[in-house]
Amino acid sequence: MDGVEITGPVLDRFDEILTPEALAFVAALQREFGPRRLDLLRARQERQAELSAGGTLDFLPETAHVRESEWTVAPPAPGLVDRRVEITGPVDRKMTINALNSGAKVWLADFEDANAPTWENTVSGQLNLRDALDRAIDFSSGGKSYALGPDEELATIVVRPRGWHLDEKHVVVGGSPASGSLVDFGLYFFHCARRQIDKGRGPYFYLPKMESHLEARLWNDVFVRAQELLGVPRGTIRATVLIETYPAAFEMEEILYELREHSAGLNAGRWDYLFSVIKKFRTRGREFLLPERNAVTMTAPFMRAYTELLVRTCHRRGAHAIGGMAAFIPSRRDPEVNRVALEKVRADKTRESGDGFDGSWVAHPDLVPICREVFDGVLGDRPNQLDRLREDVRVTAEDLLSVSKTPGEITEAGLRNNVDVALRYLAAWMGGQGAVAIHNLMEDAATAEISRSQIWQWIHNDIELADTGAVVTRELVERIIDEELDGIRTEPGYDEARYAQATALFKEVALDDDFAEFLTLPAYARMP
């Protein structure tokens, strides 16, 4: 169509999603909001330069009036009143059915960190969501049949589009790639908003990777315009924002304020938050140096400050506070692995429910019952804890910045785990898989980012390993890469070409002097 070019193949049924009307809608959003998006991405770079030059993060003086005045967000929308357990996962056909049937209250249908954005995944994911709403998604695979339960038992769909930093190179508007955010949002809203409204719910979204309230303002303006274009009543859209970047933790009130007529709350996106802490202060020496990733728990002082401030902020404004991902994967083959995983999930959810969170995330259907049980114990028949205002919480900028108080060490085992996980994940990602079970943990782009950014930071701070005394250098990491690959090569299904590609990418994002802002950017450039 005029001004819009599809550069990816139009596979079976893709024409049902890539209709002229849907593409015209996406193009209209791209033309109106694409330039502002690029301006905001440039503002991120300017802020990073200030931090790298010695600046710091703080609550914004120019928005003090927002924090000090009285206001609330919109009341919870249908299907989002009770969110005690939410399940996350990619939008493939099997996951769509399993997540909707899981017993969770909400399914985060993920086009972002749990999804490798191949063109096929992007468009087929939209088809799967539309088919699910039409109850036309039943299928058989491997001798098993998959079918949706009754509508009243299904989880509420909340779509996570890609972050503002990602392009969709297969949709070109006016000669430039469209925003991945606007493609994912636009196609879903165009095809499914009315379907969701007809089912008594609405078009709901999780918004990732934002770094400022101005980025939230852009999303709110997109929502207003999208509703106008399709004749949907203003305020029908609801969005939960993931507080998963360091700067956003200092602008929680302002982010809620910008989205207040469309807000459904905030989520503690813990894994990306750790990555952002490393990224934002990566050049600032050991004051912002974290121990190996498995040693960093939610009880670390700076993480406690972040989550408690989130609950207080949300409940003061009438918004839901949703807890973080339980990445542990239960094992149906190993009872001991299963026991340990369930104990850790229970402890995590007990802490969150006790802190006042209204619900939390799990990555596997088998974890839904334990999360629900824990939150049932606190909530009872109440749908949420919005009445727990947490006025006892007092968090300062210094509390949020207290990274140096995190206990733990850096060992060779931790370094090897970072290398191993990153290689395995990147190989899977390049093969089109965005959520990968590795060593009984569900890994996605966020956890891979922690792995590679920690290695970059350790190299640039001459870190001495606690168990061997060796200094982390490029040469040491390259040797460990070779040794870990030797072990991976002996495993069934090893793909030499894919691991060669993953290794080259990993070396680029972990060992180069220049720090790649997101590993998914060079990875996506390599993707067909």
Which residues are the active-site residues? Answer: 160, 444
Token readout for 417 is 């785990």
In angstroms, the CA 228 to CA 336 distance is: 54
Token readout for 427 is 């190989």
The owner of tokens 């999360």 is 371
Q: Enumerate the β-bridge partners of residue 464.
A: 471
Token readout for 31 is 């033309």
Q: Counting beta carbons within 10 angstroms of the beta carbon of residue 8, is it exposed (0 to 12), middle (13 to 18) or buried (19 or more)?
A: middle
8-state DSSP, 208:
-
Rg from Cα positions in the chain: 22
State the sign of the Cα–Cα–Cα–Cα dihedral 254, 246, 163, 185.
negative
Q: Which of 377, 362, 476, 482 lies closest to 423 in space, CA to CA? A: 482
Token readout for 399 is 């509390």
For 26, phi then psi, to 5°, come to -60, -45
- Give me the amino acid identity at 474: R
Q: Which of 163, 165, 218 lies closest to 41 in space, CA to CA? A: 165
In angstroms, the CA 344 to CA 501 distance is: 34
In angstroms, the CA 313 to CA 256 distance is: 9
Residues 6 or more apart in contact with residue 187 via CB below 8 angstroms:
17, 22, 26, 126
CA 8 → CA 3, 110, 114, 190, 350, distances in Å?
Answer: 16, 21, 21, 20, 46
- Give me the amino acid identity at 323: G
State the sign of the Cα–Cα–Cα–Cα dihedral 353, 355, 356, 359.
negative
In angstroms, the CA 60 to CA 47 distance is: 13
| Chain centre distance of CA 389 | 26
Contact 311, 430 (CB under 8 A): no
In angstroms, the CA 423 to CA 48 distance is: 27
In angstroms, the CA 153 to CA 60 distance is: 43
In angstroms, the CA 37 to CA 33 distance is: 6
In angstroms, the CA 325 to CA 443 distance is: 11
- Is beta strand 85-90 parallel, antiparallel or unpaired with respect to 359-362? parallel
